[in-house]
Amino acid sequence: MKKEIRICGFGGQGVILAGFIIGKAACVFSDYNSVQSQSYGPEARGGAARSEVIISDEKIGYPRPIGIDIMAAMAQEAFDAYRGDLREGAIIIIDPDLVPRNDIGTPIYRVQVQKIAEELGNKIVTNITMVGALIGITKILDTEAVKKAVIDSVPKKFKELNVNAFEQGLEAGTNARPE
């Protein structure tokens, strides 16, 4: 098994943390190898940002993705900029409220992760909701391993909010169908 995953959005949304959690779930709380890399502009906030994770049951040589198997986008600019290297049959997940122009002629998963986060009381957990949705859709990792990585990676006082975000994202993802 080898999956190359890209999570993208705008700077400040927490796409790097989202990728970090998936990478950590894979190599610390599961038995895979994983690497996480990132690229972003000089701005601390705003601008397209992306976080990329490779998960493999074999040693990972070249540490950057060559063809994306799974892409999750949380901003239009990032969706437009970062989908040039998708593999055929790649799983695409977007939040239609954040990526309104998403009709690209292939089936994609649409999950309103920001809306879920807002209903939980804070849209800051949109990224964690997206991690849940991604795992629900792709089932690439054991959900308990990812939950452990979420708990391990967020401030203690926001543990409950983040776990809720993850679980609701997971449920939304599990129920989502590509259209």
Partner 1 sequence: MTFERDPVRIRRVLGDKVQFIQGDMAVAYGGLLAGCSFFGGYPITPASEVAEGMARLLPRVKGTFIQMEDEIASLAATIGAAWGGVKSMTATSGPGFSLMMENYGYAIMTETPCVIANVQRTGPSTGQPTLGAQGDMMQVRWGSHGDMEAIALCPSTVQECMDMTIECFNLAEKYRHPVCLMTDGEIGHLREKVVIPDEDEMDLFERVLATIDKDKFIPFSESQTRDSKVPDFPTFGSGYHTYVTGLTHNDKGFPATDKQPDHERLILRLTSKISDDREKLTSVEEIELDDAEVAFVSFGASARPCESAVWDARKKGMKVGMLRLKTVWPFPRDVVTKLSKKVKKIIVVEMNLGQIYHVVKEYAVKDCEIVLAPKVGGDMHLPHELMEYLEVSN
Q: Which residues would be at the binding site for partner 1 (CB under 8 A)?
A: 20, 23-24, 27-28, 33-39, 42, 59, 61-64, 66
CB of 138 to partner 1, least distance (A): 19
Q: Residue 77 belongs to what H/E stretch?
A: helix 76-81
Nearer to partner 1, 120 or 128 (CB): 128
CB of 78 to partner 1, least distance (A): 17
Three-class SS of residue 174? helix
Nearer to partner 1, 42 or 84 (CB): 42
Q: Compute how many other C-beta atoms are within 10 angstroms of the C-beta atom of residue 108.
A: 21
Q: What gap in Å lies between CA 169 and CA 112, rounded to an integer?
A: 9
Nearer to partner 1, 21 or 93 (CB): 21
CB of 39 to partner 1, least distance (A): 8
3-state secondary structure labels for all residues of 100-133: CCCCCCCCCEECCHHHHHHHCCCHHHHHHHHHHH
List 93's β-bridge partners, or say none: 72, 109
Give the phi and the psi of residue 130 in degrees, each rounded to 5.
Answer: -65, -40
CB of 30 to partner 1, least distance (A): 11
Nearer to partner 1, 59 or 101 (CB): 59
Nearer to partner 1, 29 or 76 (CB): 29
CB of 12 to partner 1, least distance (A): 17
List 92's β-bridge partners, or say none: 71
